[in-house]
Structure 1
Amino acid sequence: MMIRSGDAVLHVRDEGPRGSPVVLFANSLGTDLRVFDALFARLPRDLRVVRYDKRGHGLSDLTPGPYTIDMLSDDAIAICEALDLRDVTFVGLSIGGLIAQSFAIKRPDLTRALVLMDTAAKIGTAETWGERIAALSGGGIASISDSILSRWFAPAFLAGPEASQWRNMLERTPLEGYIACCEALAAADLTDGCARINCPAIAIAGALDGATPPALVAETARLCNAAFHVIEDAGHLPCVEKPDAVAALITDFLKKGSHD
């Protein structure tokens, strides 16, 4: 389905029984909602799972940049309001984790719990994101896809045939949407707001993550009093490489704490 949020129309997939606990997923930079396919297949069937392509990615509208994390979290709020979602467990991957934090800070009334996956309250610096934007502007996404993929995945996964679909997804992301999200990341620092989050939360990091290393994720977990878990032999997208391990953590979290 398609849902309007301000000047964008967003591609949304809403699956599972109505009236069940709601889990909302926000994707990472350079992916779309399919990044959660393997994880979704391993979650309990009695959940209402809502996934969407953030603006500038997948089948959602490409609107002029720059974007901000505030704008992107407003998109998530618009989806919740359109679908009348309440008591949401928000699973955010990478930039999706910043969107989830912003969502929880602005709308605690909608937020049941958070799962912060390979993310942080602040990722990189304005200078490092500026360098990436310059490289993208000069050569496009394909010119830096090797370095991105080396941060996304462990060497063994990267050497296998499955890595090709993620390279294709990354390189087919609209350049303008990718850059607009880089600009959002360059400006984002939710450190102060993250410390005010008081809902149940867990944080997950791939042990080999080259984009948001485990120590960075652990610091954000500390800020929002989240339990911290490391997924061995995984990079920045553990939901792709190790979906069984990630699904087990999320399922256990849902059973024990977030939907009592």
Structure 2
Amino acid sequence: MQFTEIGGITLHYEHRDGGPGKPLIVFANSLGTDFRIWREVADDLAADFSTLCYDMRGHGLSGLGSPPYEIEDHAADLSGLLDFVGARGAIICGLSVGGLVAQCVYGLRPEFVRALILCDTAHKIGTAETWNARIDAVRRNGIDSLTDGILKLWFTPSFHTEKPALLAGCRAMLARQPVEGYAGTCAAVRDADHTALVRRITVPTLCLVGDQDGSTPPALVRSMADLIPGAEFAISENAGHIPCVEQPAQLAARIREFLARNDLGGTADA
């Protein structure tokens, strides 16, 4: 296991150096998960890329800090981690809140960002009312009280039927996140509005979404892509909100194709 302290927060991460000349892909997790959701995608890409996965603050084995958070807090953590591993010009792949963090890193420290892969995310997600209701419910009754509803948004009905063991593992991962870390990150998502920021993105950007995503539906993700100059938009088939778990091979292939088209490393037919 790898840990470091960034700005007073202990971050749990995994850095796999693919060797000289291998571009770095950074994976940022979604709300209520940790970097294990990226395992199969990162393994698939490891032959051609260096990879960096981490648990954002308040999640997994990373420190809690002082919630509630702002997206800028998460972005500062990731920027500090990139500095720590000596990265410049990374390809940042963020899922849901991880996508908001990726956008924010671009806005604050563009020298760290060579390209963006924004999965199942948007420039603004949800409303203050819905996020406040979730924060209140989690603090009152715990995360476990919401897991059934959340898992319906995360995964397709076929996943629920065909992969009960993996579904149970994802349920445990969600339910075991720190309540204040989860609620604190809900507040960060609630308060984030990157409408103006994404219009300024000039690096190659791929916006991906599961065709059955119940949290950030395809129309919302497409609306973000339409704001980003030159952004590509693609739909992951037979996937909900977390395609890196539900359709990892398909997601890895889409990432490879995008990076190859933009001369950012790897090969489209690997």
Q: Figure out how many residues of one structure are paired with residues of the other and give that number.
A: 260
3-state SS, counterpart of residue 109 of structure 1: helix
Structure 2 counterpart of 1:182, one-letter code:
C
Q: Aligned match of 2:236 in 231, 235, 245? A: 231
Q: In structure 1, what is the equivalent of residue 268 of structure 2?
A: none
Q: Aligned match of 2:176 in 172, 178, 184? A: 172
- Residues in 2 aligned to 1:4 and 1:255: alpha-carbon distance in whole angstroms: 34
Contact 1:4 1:78 in 2 (8 A): no
Q: Aligned match of 2:260 in 245, 251, 255? A: 255
Q: Aligned match of 2:95 in 84, 93, 96? A: 93
Deviation at 1:137, TM superposition (A): 1.3
Q: Aligned match of 2:65 in 57, 63, 84? A: 63
Structure 1 residues 44 and 60: CA distance shift in structure 2, 3 A: closer
Deviation at 1:2, TM superposition (A): 1.2
Q: In structure 2, what is the equivalent of residue 54 of structure 1?
A: 56
- Residues in 2 aligned to 1:9 and 1:183: alpha-carbon distance in whole angstroms: 21
Q: In structure 2, what is the equivalent of residue 207 of structure 1?
A: 211
Unaligned runs of 5+ in 1: none
- Residues in 2 aligned to 1:79 and 1:18: alpha-carbon distance in whole angstroms: 19
Structure 2 counterpart of 1:212, one-letter code:
T
Report whether the alignment pairs 1:76 with 2:78. Answer: yes
Report whether the alignment pairs 1:242 with 2:247. Answer: yes
- Residues in 2 aligned to 1:137 and 1:180: alpha-carbon distance in whole angstroms: 11
Deviation at 1:258, TM superposition (A): 5.2
Q: Which moved more, 1:42-51 or 1:206-215?
A: 42-51
Q: In structure 1, what is the equivalent of residue 18 of structure 2?
A: 17
Deviation at 1:7, TM superposition (A): 2.1
Q: Which moved more, 1:10-19 or 1:95-104?
A: 10-19
**TM-score in terms of structure 2 length:** 0.94
Deviation readout 1:226-247 (Å, 9 max, x if unpaired)? 1000011110001111111101
Unaligned runs of 5+ in 2: 266-270
% identical aligned pairs:
43
- Residues in 1 aligned to 2:17 and 2:254: alpha-carbon distance in whole angstroms: 20
Contact 1:112 1:258 in 2 (8 A): no
3-state SS, counterpart of residue 110 of structure 2: coil
Q: In structure 1, what is the equivalent of residue 159 of structure 2?
A: 157
**TM-score in terms of structure 1 length:** 0.97
Deviation at 1:191, TM superposition (A): 0.6
Deviation at 1:44, TM superposition (A): 4.6
Deviation at 1:112, TM superposition (A): 0.3
Q: In structure 2, what is the equivalent of residue 105 of structure 1?
A: 107
- Residues in 1 aligned to 2:185 and 2:85: alpha-carbon distance in whole angstroms: 25
Contact 2:68 2:180 in 1 (8 A): no
- Calculate the aligned-residue CA RMSD, in Å: 1.1
3-state SS, counterpart of residue 163 of structure 1: helix
Q: In structure 2, what is the equivalent of residue 133 of structure 1?
A: 135
Structure 1 residues 81 and 157: CA distance shift in structure 2, 3 A: same
Deviation at 1:33, TM superposition (A): 0.3
Deviation at 1:39, TM superposition (A): 1.1
3-state SS, counterpart of residue 116 of structure 1: strand
Q: In structure 1, what is the equivalent of residue 39 of structure 2?
A: 37
- Residues in 2 aligned to 1:249 and 1:46: alpha-carbon distance in whole angstroms: 14
Q: In structure 1, what is the equivalent of residue 144 of structure 2?
A: 142
